[in-house]
Amino acid sequence: MYEIAPCDGKQTWELGDRGEAAIIREMQKSPDVSEGSWNFYYITMLRDPVSRYLSEWKHVQRGATWKTSLHMCDGRSPTPDELPTCYPGDDWSGVSLREFMDCTYNLANNRQVRMLADLSLVGCYNLTFMNESERNAILLQSAKSNLKNMAFFGLTEFQRKTQFLFERTFNLKFISPFTQFNITRASNVEINEGARRRIEELNFLDVQLYEYAKDLFQQRYHRTKQLERQRDRQRRRGERRLQRDHRGHRWPKQEGNPEGAVTEDYNSQVDVQEHCSQKASGRLDRKEALIGRLSFI
């Protein structure tokens, strides 16, 4: 179960498996969210479609369901005809991968596109609202647009880069580095090439979205790295400039005096030394000695 929380933490909205646009409209209607008081950052994580699909299958196989999700869209839930169930009982425990793939109404298919897209653009769950190819094109474009406009998104296959982007985007620092776990429930599933191709076909929109997301992610990562290097160079130049200024302040150059000329301060010291010598030899009266000391000071 996913949640969206405002920065002040006053209220959260359960996302379930509803689309991003649907939950935003629900948030806008909330009495706790007045106009002009929004303080939200929209973020998400994407995963390789095949790995994500296999992970959800294993999750459902263990008895997980989304029966409490209302799938609200444009103010209503889908009818049973619009969204039939894949199993008759309380859950789908023990479902085989073939059975999981054979259900044409399985919401695991292209889940990432559906959850990022604005379903109201295609009539929500009403598949007769427009032809399938037009529906798919609109959903994919909507998902891409929403992803691009998010403040941040990460990819589970690139944990360290995801951490880097998150920290630079929000000026935060995690206590410990992210760990890349390549051994997951999905990775432990052995499937043949035919099954893999079938999963890719069932999730062809997610596959296209993920390719787009990887390219956009790498662009953001390299751009952020480039900006950080530029800031580091500027910082180092500033530090060197301060060091030069500091050295110049400690050893100021005497302007207006040619090289090798005797400075005024040095002349004063020489005059004092001469006065002191004269006093020592008895040729300097008390008043003149006082003037000499003041000149030195």
Domain ranges in the chain are: 3-233, 264-296
- Over residues 227-257, the pLDDT tens digits come to 999 988 888 888 888 888 888 776 555 555 5
Provide the whole-model pTM.
Answer: 0.73
Q: Where are the beta strands (DSSP E) in 100-234?
A: 152-155
- What local confidence, expressed as pLDDT, does residue 193 receive? 96
Q: Is 255 exposed, middle or buried (CB count within 10 Å of its CB: 0-12, 13-18, 19+)? A: exposed
Q: What CA–CA distance (Å, rounded) separates 99 from 191? A: 14
CA distances from 65 to 12, 16, 98 (A): 21, 11, 18
- Over residues 152-189, the pLDDT tens digits come to 999 999 999 999 999 999 999 999 888 877 666 666 78
Strands 152-155 and 43-46: parallel
Report, as an integer, the average pLDDT of 269-283. 46
- What local confidence, expressed as pLDDT, does residue 86 receive? 96
Phi (first) and psi of residue 4, to 5 degrees: -115, 130
DSSP designation for 90: S
- Over residues 84-143, the pLDDT tens digits come to 999 999 999 999 999 999 999 999 999 999 999 999 999 999 999 999 999 999 999 999
3-state secondary structure 242-286: HHHHHHHHHCCCCCCCCCCCCCHHHHHHHHHHHHHHHHHCCCCCH
- Over residues 186-221, the pLDDT tens digits come to 667 889 999 999 999 999 999 999 999 999 999 999
- The enclosing H or E element of 14 equals strand 13-14
